[in-house]
Amino acid sequence: MASNAPVHHATGSSFWNDTGKTGITSWIFSTDHKRIGFLYFYSTFGFFLVGVLLGLLLRIELMAPGRTIMGPQTYNALFTVHGVVMIFLFIIPGIPGAFGNLVMPIQIGARDVAFPRLNLLSWWLYIIGAVIVLTSLFSGGGAPDTGWTFYVPFSSRTGTNVSLAVFGVFIVGFSSILTGVNFVTTIHRLRTEGMSWGRIPLFTWSLYATAWVQILATPILAITLVLVMAERIIGAGLFDPTRGGDPVMYQHLFWIYSHPAVYIMILPAMGIISDIIPVFSRKPIFGYKMIAFSSVAIAAAGSLVWGHHMFTSGMSDTAVMVFSFLTFVVAIPSAIKVFNWVSTLYKGSISLEAPMLFALSFILLFSIGGLSGLILGAAATDIHVHDTHFVVGHFHYVMFGGTAFAFFAAMHYWLPKFYGRRYAEKPAVVAWALMFSGFNILYFTMQVLGMQGMPRRYYDYLPEFANLNLVATIGSWILAAGLVIMLVNLFRGLWWGVPFEGNPWGGASLEWSVPTPPPTENFIEEPVVTHGPYDFNGVER
């Protein structure tokens, strides 16, 4: 293989070239799930990098008290846009859109998703929504400054461009719904012969649970955003107390979607980890059924806990207690997963390669994030740390330490399969080590700051918080350095690296049985599944 050949197709014919079509239109109008997967991958990951840059700027501003590099209004806009971009343009569509599309149909032995054209439409809606969101930053009254939660009454009164931004998010939500509909139908209808529900890889199981949450929760976000626009444009007054409305009703509606949405973000990540851990432990997953079940249980129970975001909003004490109790219930299926992963490792033949390192750090970081979530879920302790940096730290532990680290794990685990080339191992490990350390320096410090009382979303702070804020900012630089090394190494490897052939990780699920890179329509002949996804008997490494 000529090592200088630009990009893709290390060997012979694959989906990169076997349709005979080239050029941009063969991508942006393709209905092939792998091409759409790559469209999602590069667009969501691009937005992730934008979000990272904004986050780094925020950290530089908070490095020292008082003004450092920007004024308060810019700061408000930046944390809002950081949140909107990361949540709606990266974390929610990221794993289902990119790796769900790339891997899921192959994992169940299908040639494509159930509705390939709808799949393409989903990506287009995502891009259109994203463009509208970006337009809102530079037009009208300027970038929204409400925080990503768009809380009324501020969001109905601020002069910034909230209406356009929420309209963009509305369109992105539509895209998310269509992906959900597509995936549920695909998993029900297109499983190949022998792919019973008990043989579905856990990544696909997690996408199945996620897709249901996308279907059931996203419409509530849609109507909520419509109502924000109605408040602003026609003065509906539904959330305005002077006109008989109630701002707390906005918070209810918003969190009825947005809490389940954090499970849209974390469930597919858990699925990735469930697929990687057994492969790199050379052992069948421990408790397959319970992991699959817990995905569904998290999706179900997670839809009933939204009130824990509102303990200080003026709900009744009864509601606070009920929501607090339900929040603790969700911890059970999450813990089931963690214990099962750890049990899978026990007496396994563990090989610490890059995907595994990211997966292992996921378990640790997610556990810290999950447990700090219980501190927030308990009403009494929440009152103390509500709206402080503790929340920011917690959220980043689960979303960055959880979902983004799983995304990185998937990048190292699956992308070589689709490029037919791989990255160098050593720089990947160095990058991982830097990111892991930088991450903890940054976000653990935030949690300590929150415990000490530093509020979130504040532009300025008291001098006693200065030292820890400096530490956190330095942590963000270490994290960013690791990220840069990871990206350079990974993409240099995928585009120009040594060939990745056959099944080097030794995976037993179907995606490892197809040619590398897979051809369009994936399978040369219809596969028949005779064993489970983690049955490594006879699988060579």
Residues making contact with another protein (CB under 8 A): 19, 21, 30-32, 111-112, 114-116, 118, 177, 180-182, 184-185, 188-190, 215-216, 218-220, 222-224, 226-227, 230, 234-238, 242-246, 249, 253, 256, 520-521
d(CA 408, CA 91): 12
d(CA 427, CA 487): 10
In this complex, which beta carbon is closest to another protein, that of residue 9 or of residue 457? 9
Phi–psi pair at 498, nearest 5 degrees = -75, 150
Contacts of 460 (CB under 8 A, 6+ apart): 65, 66, 72
d(CA 145, CA 125): 24
What are 499's strand-pairing partners? 421
In this complex, which beta carbon is closest to another protein, that of residue 247 or of residue 438? 247
What torsion, rounded to 10 degrees, do the Cα atoms 80, 85, 86, 90 define? 170
Q: CB atoms < 10 A from the CB of 294, how many? A: 26
In this complex, which beta carbon is closest to another protein, that of residue 242 or of residue 530? 242
505-532 residues labelled b (16+ CB within 10 A) or e (exposed): bebbbbbbbbbbbbbbebbeeebebeeb
24: its two tokens = 């941009």
Nearest approach, Cβ of 190 to another protein (angstroms)?
8
Nearest approach, Cβ of 320 to another protein (angstroms)?
18
474-485 residues labelled b (16+ CB within 10 A) or e (exposed): bbbebbbebbeb
185: its two tokens = 């139908």
Q: Which of 221, 203, 130, 311 is nearest to 533 (CA)?
A: 203
Nearest approach, Cβ of 154 to another protein (angstroms)?
19
In this complex, which beta carbon is closest to another protein, that of residue 40 or of residue 170? 170
In this complex, which beta carbon is closest to another protein, that of residue 257 or of residue 536? 257
Nearest approach, Cβ of 29 to another protein (angstroms)?
9
In this complex, which beta carbon is closest to another protein, that of residue 19 or of residue 149? 19
Peptide bond into 517 cis (omega under 30): yes
Query: In whole angstroms, how far apart are CA 339 and each of 221, 298, 327, 369?
Result: 33, 15, 19, 15
Quick one: residue 538, left, alpha or beta (phi over 0 = left, psi -120 to 50 = alpha)?
A: left
In this complex, which beta carbon is closest to another protein, that of residue 211 or of residue 291? 211
In this complex, which beta carbon is closest to another protein, that of residue 2 or of residue 234? 234
